Amino acid sequence: MSQSGWGGQGPSSQDGSSQQGWGQNPQGQQGWSQQPGQQAQGQQPGQQGGWGPAPQQPSPQQPPTWGQPSPCGAPQGGPYGGSPAYGAPQPPTPPRKKWPLILVAIGCVLALFLGIGIITATVLLNRSVGGDDPTAAPTTSGSPTEEPTTEATTEAPTVSGSSEGAAFEPADPYGESLKTPDEIWSILEDNPMTSGTVSTIGSCELPGTPKEPSDEQLQATLDAAGGCLSSVWSTASSDRELPWSNRSLVVYKHPDVPSSAVCEPDTFDAETPRVCNIDGTIYWPSGSGIAHEMGASGAVGDEAELSTAYLWDLSYSYVNAGWWDSTIGIYYSQMSQGLEDDPDRQAEAKRRYASQNICVASLMSMRVPTAAQPSETVRGILSDPKTWQDGPAVTAETHARWIKKGLEADGDLAACNAWKAPLDEVA
């Protein structure tokens, strides 16, 4: 930028302040370097120095320096004693500080984020307290469907097992029962496993089983059948908010009880699978069971059909496991002990319990795909009273009757509720 010869603004300095063209005449002398009491050059005696125009015409080499600062540092009046002359130097304007603006901007951003956070937290809190969980799996019960409520509840969840909505409270397997036999009888009549329909699983593949399978072949069949039954029980239990644990299967030759078994060796026998709920394992003695008899006798010659017979045979052992997990079996044991002083009623309870177990085993064996269900031939043998002998609990006729009920129940657990059946049906 060009310099102003009349006190104008000169080139800007590096720090942003302006350089004024006010202090030099053509000879390089500053206009206010005269000290008080000295006579200015070319000044007549008796005249006072100052910044106004001299009486004589100024020299062409010394133009008037209007608007130059006075010795006191403050700008003086213009050539007529009025306001400061145009172009007079003003106090330099300090550069504006940007930090206040930056701090204000940061504060606004923080306030915005804080507001969003408060709103989000409020929405989430309202959902968690008052709203229903849209991802909760539906449960199955015999009670009518009720309208959902938005009120929060702190009560422990209960399982409805009847059309009246009775709550099921699991038993303590290791503690002493505080319920009377009559109270337990009512629980066994009306619990989550006495109503509702058991769903059919989507897949179940069984390998063919020879008439006289080796231990390895038997193990393969039982493992496959056990996987299918575990899926059936897992679904049925979950739908009723009951616990379920899968079981392992071990084929062994009696009396060589596996050393890994936790249950006492004297509780094992050669004719009956041992369901050891303590270690979650079913120990299967080779050569035992109705399925083995069907194959060995030639009653069932097809290997695929024989595998379905093993699935039914194993299903009876899974009822034992299901009653343990749900504690229904624990309730029965406690009631039976409480009825020791009433042997007639104790015997009746034993018949009803055995009838229910046979029926539920048959029902569960049919909740697999058709190819894995007990074949028509197998079902005919199972539901024939001649296949069975009178036992300590029920007669052969009763045994066959409740097997047929389960096979034809189409998954309806109410069909297997022997606790409400007429007395002559559980003889």
pLDDT per residue over 106-147, tens digit each? 776 666 766 676 665 554 444 433 333 333 333 333 333 333
Asked if residue 279 lies in contact with residue 262, where contact means CB atoms within 8 angstroms, the answer is yes
Spatial separation of the C-alpha atoms in residues 358 and 377, rounded to whole Å = 18
Average pLDDT in the 361-377 region? Answer: 98
Residue 165 located in a structural domain: no
Confidence of residue 99 (pLDDT cuts 50, 70, 90): low
User: What is the per-residue pLDDT for 142?
Assistant: 35
Residue 264 located in a structural domain: yes
Spatial separation of the C-alpha atoms in residues 392 and 354, rounded to whole Å = 10
User: What is the per-residue pLDDT for 120?
Assistant: 57
Spatial separation of the C-alpha atoms in residues 361 and 237, rounded to whole Å = 15
Higher model confidence: residue 265 or residue 33?
Answer: 265
Residue 406 located in a structural domain: yes
Please report how many Cα atoms fall inside a 13 Å half-sphere around the Cα of residue 58, on the Cβ side.
Answer: 14
User: What is the per-residue pLDDT for 73?
Assistant: 38
Per-residue pLDDT at 7 exceeds 60: no
Confidence of residue 174 (pLDDT cuts 50, 70, 90): confident
* 46-95 confidence digits (pLDDT tens): 444 443 444 444 444 444 433 333 333 333 333 333 333 333 344 444 44
Asked if residue 334 lies in contact with residue 179, where contact means CB atoms within 8 angstroms, the answer is yes
User: What is the per-residue pLDDT for 105?
Assistant: 67
Residue 295 located in a structural domain: yes
* 12-44 confidence digits (pLDDT tens): 333 333 333 333 333 333 333 333 344 444 444
User: What is the per-residue pLDDT for 106?
Assistant: 74
Query: Crossing angle for the helix pair 328-338 and 181-189, nearest 10 degrees?
Result: 150
Higher model confidence: residue 68 or residue 262?
Answer: 262
Render 181-222 in DSSP notation, one character per residue. HHHHHHHHHSSGGGSSBPPPPS--------SS--HHHHHHHH
Least confidently predicted of 41-45, 138-142, 242-246, 393-397: 138-142
Domain count, the chain: 1
**Domain enclosing residue 198, as ranges:** 181-426
Spatial separation of the C-alpha atoms in residues 209 and 215, rounded to whole Å = 11
Kindly report the average pLDDT of the chain as a whole number: 75
Residue 70 located in a structural domain: no
Tokens of 108: 């606004």
Q: Is the overall model pTM greater than 0.85, yes or no?
A: no
User: What is the per-residue pLDDT for 176?
Assistant: 84
Spatial separation of the C-alpha atoms in residues 217 and 210, rounded to whole Å = 8
Confidence of residue 5 (pLDDT cuts 50, 70, 90): very low
Spatial separation of the C-alpha atoms in residues 341 and 163, rounded to whole Å = 33
Please report how many Cα atoms fall inside a 13 Å half-sphere around the Cα of residue 70, on the Cβ side.
Answer: 13
Average pLDDT in the 241-266 region? Answer: 97
Residue 302 located in a structural domain: yes
User: What is the per-residue pLDDT for 341?
Assistant: 96
